[in-house]
Amino acid sequence: MTPVCSLPLDSSLPSLAVLGVFSVESHGDHESKRNIIRETWLPSVASSGQISAFFVLRGQGANSTVREAQQHRDIIFVDAPAKADRKTGPLYSLLNWMRCAVQTWPEVSLVGKADDDVWINLPGTAEHLRGSLARLQDSSHLAPPRMLWGIMETFGWNTSSGRPKGFSYKFGSSRRRRCLRYGDGGDYLFPTHFAKGPMYFVSRELVEQIANSSVVQAGMDAAIGSAARGLPWEDVFTGYSLSEVAQGQNLAFVHMGEVAFSESGRSHYSHGVRSTSLVYHDKSLARLRGHHAWSTAHECRTEASQIRIACDDGPHEHGGTVRPP
């Protein structure tokens, strides 16, 4: 099989999940962001043993990061152009990372994606993931659960332009009305539930379905080649891809809970880190370092046995496609 990524020589074998932290070649402060992560939460990988984490960069022409990769041995290069723009680069990274992960770690339960401007409570995240899988298994008595886990939000997806439209928060409704309102042509898949981009995890079996799907590849090609306004955000594209191809007996969206997520700026979500935080999204490197220090001092922990799941009414059902007039 032709390799789709270049791995560090000492890449570990996690027991639960592998997490790709998406970054780019040393443009602006991205190398500084990677260094903050190395100083703060990345060392917890060694003590956890449950989740392995690597930076994921596009490798074609990424000459300036070769020395950094050799020094730290925590960078995976995927087979995509380093200079790709904001419209195309994240989608290249996403699909190539998924193909890399299922090829390299065929026994892992979950594959994750994170941004490089986050602080993550990695041991707590592992416990939440384990607890979520256990509760889903207990409640269904079916095949092992296959889930999309994270902070859930909702869009509609224009399959012609490859762009999301009609945002709402967790398992939002009125997708048909919102999509029809745009009237910009093409078919919409609605609702497209997705997990918010700063960090999410997908069961490996579902990642494999996405990675091997010609429908998903065609959807990515349409999004990359489209002249439509806006961006084909990779987190929404993951949700769209699952809406198209996900198969299995025990499929689930798992909303990690807003008490576990916060971010800076004008946001619907909480600001700052608290004892329940699993991920904090912030452009400020100083605040990320400060939040890590606070969390470490307060020994923030989550136990799998503490995780409880409440089922919403039919959030998994989507209304199909609609063509605006």
Torsion 86-23-286-14 (CA) sign: positive
pLDDT at 12 over 90: no
Q: Give residue 276's pLDDT.
A: 82
Q: Give residue 156's pLDDT.
A: 87
Which domains does the chain carry?
5-322 (3.90.550.10)
Q: Give residue 325's pLDDT.
A: 33
pLDDT at 324 over 80: no
CB atoms within 10 A of CB 249: 10
CB 272 within 8 A of CB 262: yes
Q: In the 3-class helix/strand/coil scheme, how is 112-173 assigned residue by residue?
A: EEEECCEEECHHHHHHHHHHHHHHHHHHHCCCCCEEEEECEEEEEEECCCCEEEEEECCCCC
Q: Give residue 254's pLDDT.
A: 93
Kindly state the average pLDDT of the residues 34-50: 87
Q: Give residue 278's pLDDT.
A: 92
CB 199 within 8 A of CB 112: yes
Candidate from 49-53, 152-156, 262-266, 290-294 with smallest mean pLDDT: 262-266
> Is the overall model pTM greater than 0.85, yes or no?
yes
Confidence band (pLDDT; 50, 70, 90) for 322? Answer: very low
Give residue-wise pLDDT tens across range 217-232.
Answer: 999 999 999 999 999 9
CB 168 within 8 A of CB 153: yes
Give residue-wise pLDDT tens across range 274-287.
Answer: 778 899 999 899 99
Half-sphere exposure of 72 (CA within 13 A, CB side): 19
Q: Give residue 11's pLDDT.
A: 61
Token output for 115: 């941004």
Give residue-wise pLDDT tens across range 68-121.
Answer: 999 999 999 999 999 999 999 999 999 999 999 999 999 999 999 999 999 999
Q: Give residue 162's pLDDT.
A: 93
Confidence band (pLDDT; 50, 70, 90) for 323? Answer: very low
State how far the Cα of 276 lies from the Cα of 314, in Å rounded to an integer. 27
Length of the chain: 325
CB 203 within 8 A of CB 102: no
